């Protein structure tokens, strides 16, 4: 089966899978594995990593990039000039409150469908799409219900794997792979925290363990690669009536992000989730040169009554790790 | 034509001003000696070199009195509209209303330069979490907070989508501080697919018809919002008349640019040309006066060209300039180093290309908006740059990187590569912060190296010719 790689949460895995292709949401590994930008300064580490991943990926048959951030949009130009992998730039509107913006998103999904067919995919029937969506919906439900039985890192890994699921259920979370009961009880004694920000890279998942080790417990992963980037549950009735519209509605309207204009839904979602999980502090994780998230830091601090710790990363894990560890340790001391 | 053309200092302008005044120079209401603006805090003016014509004086005074004009407009009961990011489209519409004045709050990015950081705007932005990792447009945030530089608009309109993240993020921060914003979507301009109906945009790029229609529908929303604010309906006739006026501005600029970039010797300095080009974006808050100011400048330049006079040496290296500079002094620096500007791409070519007048007016504006170089790919932008380099006969390309700007880091690389592949001309990339004093020697060295390279290539070409 051909594999289509992407990272953006606004690319529905179901849509790719329904075309008979493998949706490979990439969990980026490290910065700059192969892309030798002469001027790396000013380029977000995540974007650098993505460019390297696409250019060096030997297993992918196509890549989908989105316009959600300006640097990713520019990354597409670098990719098409530097590698032969077929690539598609999907226009995800920043505005979301108008019918025109919603229709544009649907039209872009259809255009993406054309790209997938060009790579050997098959236009899905209504029933095929609906069945695929149901399978993914079930998988996400399984992942969500497993959250309380998993460490934050395990949960993040489960979400990351979810995008590549091809439909199989994750399990109910009560399996041996989760935290042992004693560990879970100990976890409830730790300080409940939220991690908020853009996407994490694979090495960043260690940050979640680090937080637990230092006395915290991430009860809300509001990063792009975490719960915040998961499409909400489908409306099953609408799914049967018009699966493509339901797919578009769930993804386009259901994933809150800093990039939306206005991005009030992000704060509405955070308000609900932070209160619902009794969060006592926020770790704000951002990449250097990521304007969209960086600009939210000040607003978030003014908006919420919780302490916020800013953790920026230039993508150099060796340098970042001790600095981040010290900062989180101090944050935890303040909260405990 | 007023005098033998030359570049003069601010002190020399005081003398020149008296001379022109005694000679009977007619001045508009906002006229006066340039040096008076220094007393208002525009300290950078002391370090710039200016064209010595009465037309240039009028241009500078027009630019430096915009805040007064906006306040007068408010006092006169006009509605003030802050248009952000689209650079040249919404103001065409806004100036069709009798009681609306529009301006770009983004233009505040020059305030730290003009006031040599004495304004404190960047510090205010810092305090709101918008630090130097953002582009200098962050000064806009400070200007809103202090309220000291322009009246707080009655309405803010901002294009988002295929724009830079800096402005989008800063505008959202502004929104979070309690300034309501009317957002409209600018899609990423793409190539039409096979068999997809397409439209040729101003500037010559093709775009899918459906994208033009989408932008048109967004501009319909903007129009409705403006109509509500103004309490006045904007019909096709009025909008067409507004487009005609905007095209007069663009027509003057087209001729000015052609003469400034091709005539030997260079008839007008790069700094005045930068300011003249900027007027196309929002008419510096007075469309009628913009036409008059540019008309006078064009007359001056035509006179100089006809007389074979100019402000720079005839052998100045012909440089194509990419991106606007945050520090105006760098335009002087290029000329001090032996260069001249022969072509520009300041990120608003869509505000310079003529607006089509053979299609319904709103569609014409949609086509212009979609032609925005920032809305499309860096590859499109590079190709337009290559075409203009050829058109104006530039011998090198200088990419002026905007510090912190989300588009510059990757885009500069694409443009450099494509220019190098397509044209046999050297490319230099520099970064220009709002005040360059501390790095002036480095910038000078780099620009001098580019100028020397151009001259060496000329010598080599001449050597080959003489060998033949």
- Residue A153 belongs to some domain of the structure: no
Which pLDDT value is given to residue B448?
Answer: 98
The residue among B107, B114, B156, B112 whose CA lies nearest residue B351 is B107
* Dihedral sign from CA coordinates of A68, A221, A270, A321: negative
Q: Chain A: residue nearest B194 by CA? A: A114
Strand order in the sheet with A87-90: A22-25, A3-6, A62-66, A87-90
Q: What's the CA gap between B288 and A126, in Å, rounded?
A: 58
- Beta-bridge partner residues of B210: none
On chain B, the residues whose CB falls within 8 A of the CB of A297 are: 129
Q: Chain B: residue nearest A105 by CA? A: B187
**A166 DSSP assignment:** T
Q: Chain B: residue nearest A104 by CA? A: B214
Q: Please answer yes or no on whether A93 and B161 come within 8 Å at the CB atom.
A: yes
Q: Is residue B126 pLDDT above 90, yes or no? A: yes
Determine contact: B363 vs chain A, CB below 8 A: no
Strand, coil or helix: A31: coil
DSSP code string of B74-131:
HHTTPEEEEEESS-SSHHHHHTTSTTEEEE-GGGGGGHHHHTTTTT-HHHHHHHTT--
Q: What's the CA gap between A193 and A216, in Å, rounded?
A: 7
On chain B, the residues whose CB falls within 8 A of the CB of A295 are: 129-130, 134, 169-170, 172-173
Domain count, chain A: 2
Give the DSSP H/E element, type plus range, for residue B429: strand B427-431
Encode pLDDT of A101-120 as tens digits.
999 999 999 999 999 999 99
On chain A, the residues whose CB falls within 8 A of the CB of B173 are: 295, 298-299
Question: Model pTM?
Answer: 0.95
Which pLDDT value is given to residue A169?
Answer: 41
- CB contact set of A6 (below 8 Å; sequence gap of 6+): A16, A23, A24, A25, A26, A63, A64, A65, A66
**Between A and B, how many residue pairs show a Cβ–Cβ distance under 8 A?**
145
Q: Please answer yes or no on whether B188 and A91 come within 8 Å at the CB atom.
A: yes
Substitution target in B156, B158, B159, B165 with the highest count of A β-carbons within 10 Å is B165
Taking the C-alpha atoms of A201, A205, A208 and A213 in order, what is their torsion angle to the nearest 10 degrees?
Answer: -130
Q: Please answer yes or no on whether A295 and B173 come within 8 Å at the CB atom.
A: yes
Q: What's the CA gap between B250 and B254, in Å, rounded?
A: 6
- CB contact set of A10 (below 8 Å; sequence gap of 6+): A66, A68, A90, A92, A105, A251, A252, A255
The residue among B23, B20, B22 whose CA lies nearest residue B34 is B20
Asked whether residue A111 falls in the same domain as residue A192, the answer is no
Q: Is residue A29 pLDDT above 90, yes or no? A: no
| Pick from A39, A76, A104: CB nearest B214 | A104
* Mean pLDDT for chain B overall: 96
* Mean pLDDT, rounded, for B180-207: 97
On chain B, the residues whose CB falls within 8 A of the CB of A100 are: 185, 214, 217-218
Q: CA-based angle A277:A280:A283, to the nearest 5?
A: 100
| Pick from B160, B411, B413: CB nearest A261 | B160
Q: Please answer yes or no on whether A78 and B407 come within 8 Å at the CB atom.
A: no
Q: Chain A: residue nearest B135 by CA? A: A291
Percent of chain A exceeding pLDDT 70 equals: 89
The residue among B340, B344, B339 whose CA lies nearest residue B321 is B344
Encode pLDDT of B32-66 as tens digits.
999 999 999 999 999 999 999 999 999 999 999 99
Which pLDDT value is given to residue A38?
Answer: 47
Q: Which two tokens stand for residue B428?
A: 């230099």
Q: Chain A: residue nearest B134 by CA? A: A291
Residue B462 banded pLDDT, cuts 50, 70, 90: confident
- Beta-bridge partner residues of A195: A221, A283
- Residue A20 belongs to some domain of the structure: yes
Q: Please answer yes or no on whether B133 and A262 come within 8 Å at the CB atom.
A: no
Encode pLDDT of A279-322 as tens digits.
999 999 999 999 999 999 999 999 999 999 999 998 877 778 88
Encode pLDDT of B250-263 as tens digits.
999 999 999 999 99
Q: Is residue B349 pLDDT above 80, yes or no? A: yes
Q: Residue A30: which CATH number?
A: 3.40.50.11890
Q: What's the CA gap between B267 and A20, in Å, rounded?
A: 64
The residue among B173, B87, B165 whose CA lies nearest residue B405 is B165
The residue among A296, A237, A285, A210 whose CA lies nearest residue A261 is A296
Asked whether residue A115 falls in the same domain as residue A180, the answer is no
Q: Which two tokens stand for residue B454?
A: 């151009």
- Residue A161 belongs to some domain of the structure: no
- Residue A127 belongs to some domain of the structure: no
The 10 Å CB-count burial string (b at 16+, else e) for A36-58 is ebeebebbbbbbbbbbbbbbebe
| Pick from A39, A67, A104: CB nearest B409 | A39
- Residue A154 belongs to some domain of the structure: no
- Residue A139 belongs to some domain of the structure: no
Closest Cα of chain A to B445: distance in Å?
Answer: 20
Q: Which two tokens stand for residue B47?
A: 């370090």
Q: Is residue A170 pLDDT above 60, yes or no? A: no
| Pick from A107, A114, A262: CB nearest B175 | A262
CB A40 within 8 A of CB A145: no
Domain boundary (A77, A100, A122) is at A122
DSSP code string of B283-294:
GGG-HHHHHHHH
| Cis peptide preceding B211, ω within 30 of 0 | no
Domain encompassing residue A53: 3-122
Q: What's the CA gap between B96 and B385, in Å, rounded?
A: 32
Asked whether residue A182 falls in the same domain as residue A112, the answer is no
Q: In which residue are the tokens 């450099």 written?
A: B416
| Pick from B133, B185, B379: CB nearest A93 | B185
Which pLDDT value is given to residue A65?
Answer: 98
- Residue A306 belongs to some domain of the structure: yes
**A199 DSSP assignment:** P
Percent of chain B exceeding pLDDT 70 equals: 99
Residues 399-438 of B with CB under 8 A from A: 401, 404-414, 417, 429
Residue A30 banded pLDDT, cuts 50, 70, 90: confident
Which pLDDT value is given to residue A181?
Answer: 65
Domain boundary (A122, A142, A161) is at A122
**A151 DSSP assignment:** -
Asked whether residue A181 falls in the same domain as residue A265, the answer is yes
CB A198 within 8 A of CB A286: yes
Q: Chain B: residue nearest A96 by CA? A: B185
Asked whether residue A183 falls in the same domain as residue A263, the answer is yes
The residue among B170, B347, B415 whose CA lies nearest residue A39 is B415
Distance of CA A226 to the CA centre of its chain: 5
**Minimum mean pLDDT among A34-38, A47-51, B72-76, B359-363: which range?**
A34-38
Asked whether residue A191 falls in the same domain as residue A319, the answer is yes
Which pLDDT value is given to residue A166?
Answer: 44
- CB contact set of B443 (below 8 Å; sequence gap of 6+): B330, B333, B430, B432, B436
Give the DSSP H/E element, type plus range, for residue B371: none
Q: Please answer yes or no on whether A261 and B168 come within 8 Å at the CB atom.
A: yes
Q: What's the CA gap between B341 and B36, in Å, rounded?
A: 29
* Mean pLDDT, rounded, for A184-213: 90
Residue A175 banded pLDDT, cuts 50, 70, 90: very low
Q: Please answer yes or no on whether A78 and B413 come within 8 Å at the CB atom.
A: yes
| Pick from A37, A107, A302: CB nearest B413 | A37
CB B112 within 8 A of CB B188: no
Asked whether residue A179 falls in the same domain as residue A298, the answer is yes
Q: Please answer yes or no on whether A94 and B185 come within 8 Å at the CB atom.
A: yes
Q: Please answer yes or no on whether A299 and B130 come within 8 Å at the CB atom.
A: no
Q: Residue A262: which CATH number?
A: 3.40.50.11900
Angle between helices B54-64 and B66-75 (to 10 degrees): 50
Q: Please answer yes or no on whether A39 and B412 come within 8 Å at the CB atom.
A: yes
- Residue A179 belongs to some domain of the structure: yes
The residue among A223, A220, A211, A221 whose CA lies nearest residue A336 is A211
Q: What's the CA gap between A333 and A323, in Å, rounded?
A: 16
Q: What's the CA gap between B197 and A285, in Å, rounded?
A: 44
Asked whether residue A190 falls in the same domain as residue A320, the answer is yes
CB B88 within 8 A of CB B281: yes
On chain B, the residues whose CB falls within 8 A of the CB of A111 are: 193
Asked whether residue A84 falls in the same domain as residue A19, the answer is yes
Q: Is residue A189 pLDDT above 80, yes or no? A: no
Asked whether residue A325 falls in the same domain as residue A202, the answer is yes
CB B46 within 8 A of CB B10: yes
Give the DSSP H/E element, type plus range, for residue A71: helix A70-82
Q: What's the CA gap between B154 and B141, in Å, rounded?
A: 16
* Mean pLDDT, rounded, for A12-39: 82
Closest Cα of chain A to B216: distance in Å?
Answer: 11
**B434 DSSP assignment:** S
**CB count, 10 Å around CB of B85?**
25
Residue A174 banded pLDDT, cuts 50, 70, 90: very low
**A233 DSSP assignment:** P
Q: What's the CA gap between A81 and B194, in Å, rounded?
A: 20
Domain boundary (A90, A122, A154) is at A122
* Mean pLDDT for chain A overall: 91
Q: Please answer yes or no on whether B410 and A75 come within 8 Å at the CB atom.
A: yes
Residues 115-174 of B with CB under 8 A from A: 128-130, 133-134, 158, 160-166, 168-173
Distance of CA B360 to the CA centre of its chain: 27
Q: Chain A: residue nearest B127 by CA? A: A298
Q: Which two tokens stand for residue A27?
A: 């969990």
Substitution target in B127, B138, B140, B161 with the highest count of A β-carbons within 10 Å is B161
- Beta-bridge partner residues of A218: A193
**Minimum mean pLDDT among A30-39, A188-197, A316-325: which range?**
A30-39
Which pLDDT value is given to residue A171?
Answer: 45
On chain B, the residues whose CB falls within 8 A of the CB of A75 are: 410
Q: What's the CA gap between A330 and A321, in Å, rounded?
A: 14
Q: What's the CA gap between A66 and A64, in Å, rounded?
A: 7
On chain A, the residues whose CB falls within 8 A of the CB of B169 are: 258, 291-292, 294-296
Which pLDDT value is given to residue B1?
Answer: 59
Encode pLDDT of B92-115 as tens digits.
999 999 999 999 999 999 999 999
Q: Chain B: residue nearest A41 by CA? A: B409
**B337 DSSP assignment:** T
Asked whether residue A105 falls in the same domain as residue A179, the answer is no
Q: What's the CA gap between B66 and B285, in Å, rounded?
A: 7
Asked whether residue A111 falls in the same domain as residue A219, the answer is no
**CB count, 10 Å around CB of B260?**
30
Q: Please answer yes or no on whether A43 and B410 come within 8 Å at the CB atom.
A: yes
Strand pairing class (B198-200; B206-208): antiparallel
Strand, coil or helix: A93: coil
């Amino acid at each position: 089966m051909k594999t289509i790689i992407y990272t953006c949460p606004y690319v529905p895995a179901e849509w790719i899978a329904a075309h008979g292709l493998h949706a490979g949401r990439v969990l980026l590994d490290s910065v700059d594995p192969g892309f030798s930008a002469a001027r790396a300064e000013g380029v977000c580490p995540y974007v650098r990593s993505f460019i390297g991943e696409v250019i060096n990926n030997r297993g992918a048959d196509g890549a989908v990039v989105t316009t959600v951030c300006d640097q990713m949009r520019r990354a597409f130009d670098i990719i098409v000039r530097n590698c032969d992998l077929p690539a598609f730039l999907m226009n995800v509107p920043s505005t979301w409150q108008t019918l025109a913006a919603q229709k544009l998103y649907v039209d872009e999904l259809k255009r993406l469908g054309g790209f997938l067919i060009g790579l050997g995919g098959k236009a899905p029937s209504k029933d095929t799409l609906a069945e695929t969506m149901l399978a993914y919906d079930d998988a996400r439900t399984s992942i969500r219900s497993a959250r309380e039985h998993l460490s934050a890192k395990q949960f993040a890994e489960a979400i990351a794997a979810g995008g590549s699921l091809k439909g199989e259920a994750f399990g109910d979370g009560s399996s041996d792979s989760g935290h042992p009961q004693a560990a879970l009880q100990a976890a409830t004694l730790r300080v409940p925290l939220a991690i908020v920000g853009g996407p994490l890279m694979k090495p960043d998942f260690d940050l979640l363990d680090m937080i637990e080790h230092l006395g915290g417990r991430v009860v809300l992963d509001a990063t792009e690669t975490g719960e915040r980037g998961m499409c909400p549950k489908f409306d099953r009735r609408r799914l049967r009536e018009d699966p493509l519209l339901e797919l578009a509605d769930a993804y386009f309207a259901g994933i809150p992000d800093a990039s939306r204009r206005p991005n009030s839904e992000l704060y509405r979602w955070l308000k609900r989730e932070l209160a619902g999980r009794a969060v006592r502090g926020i770790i704000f994780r951002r990449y250097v040169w990521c304007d969209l998230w960086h600009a939210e830091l000040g607003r978030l601090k003014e908006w919420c009554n919780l302490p916020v710790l800013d953790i920026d990363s230039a993508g150099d894990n060796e340098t970042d790790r001790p600095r981040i560890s010290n900062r989180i340790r101090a944050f935890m001391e303040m909260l405990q | 034509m007023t005098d033998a053309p030359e570049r003069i200092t601010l002190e020399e302008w005081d003398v020149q001003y008296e001379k022109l005044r005694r000679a009977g120079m007619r001045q508009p209401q906002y006229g006066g000696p340039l040096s008076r603006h220094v007393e208002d805090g525009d300290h950078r003016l002391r370090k710039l070199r200016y064209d010595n014509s009465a037309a240039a004086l009028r241009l500078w005074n027009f630019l430096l009195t915009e805040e007064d004009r906006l306040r007068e407009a408010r006092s006169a009961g006009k509605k003030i509209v802050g248009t952000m990011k689209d650079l040249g489209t919404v103001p065409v519409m806004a100036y069709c209303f009798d009681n609306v004045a529009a301006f770009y709050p983004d233009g505040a990015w020059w305030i730290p330069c003009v006031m040599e950081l004495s304004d404190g705007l960047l510090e205010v932005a810092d305090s709101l979490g918008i630090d130097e990792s953002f582009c200098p447009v962050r000064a806009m945030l400070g200007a809103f907070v202090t309220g000291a530089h322009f009246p707080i608009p009655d309405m803010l309109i901002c294009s988002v989508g295929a724009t830079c993240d800096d402005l989008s993020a800063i505008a959202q921060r502004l929104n979070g501080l309690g300034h309501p914003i009317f957002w409209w979507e600018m899609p990423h301009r793409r190539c039409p697919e096979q068999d997809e109906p397409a439209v040729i945009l101003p500037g010559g790029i093709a775009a899918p018809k459906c994208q033009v229609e989408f932008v048109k529908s967004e501009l319909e929303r903007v129009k409705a919002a403006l109509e509500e604010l103004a309490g006045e309906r904007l019909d096709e006739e009025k909008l067409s008349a507004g487009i005609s006026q905007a095209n007069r501005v663009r027509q003057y600029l087209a001729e000015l640019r052609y003469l400034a970039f091709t005539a030997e010797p260079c008839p007008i300095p790069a700094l005045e040309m930068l300011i003249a080009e900027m007027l196309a974006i929002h008419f510096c808050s007075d469309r009628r006066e913009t036409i008059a100011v540019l008309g006078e400048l064009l007359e001056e330049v035509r006179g100089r060209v006809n007389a074979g006079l100019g402000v720079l040496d005839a052998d100045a290296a012909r440089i194509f300039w990419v991106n606007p500079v945050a520090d105006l002094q760098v335009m002087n620096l290029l000329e001090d180093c032996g260069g001249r500007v022969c072509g520009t791409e300041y990120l608003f070519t869509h505000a310079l290309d003529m607006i089509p007048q053979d299609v319904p007016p709103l569609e014409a504006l949609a086509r212009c908006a979609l032609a925005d170089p920032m809305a499309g790919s860096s590859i499109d932008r590079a190709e337009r740059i290559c075409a203009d380099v050829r058109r104006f006969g530039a011998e090198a390309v200088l990419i002026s990187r905007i510090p912190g700007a989300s588009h510059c880091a990757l885009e500069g690389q694409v443009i450099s590569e494509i220019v190098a592949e397509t044209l046999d001309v050297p490319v230099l990339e520099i970064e220009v912060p709002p005040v360059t004093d501390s790095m002036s020697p480095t910038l000078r060295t780099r620009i001098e190296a580019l100028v020397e390279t151009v001259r060496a290539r000329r010598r080599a070409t001449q050597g080959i010719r003489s060998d033949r």
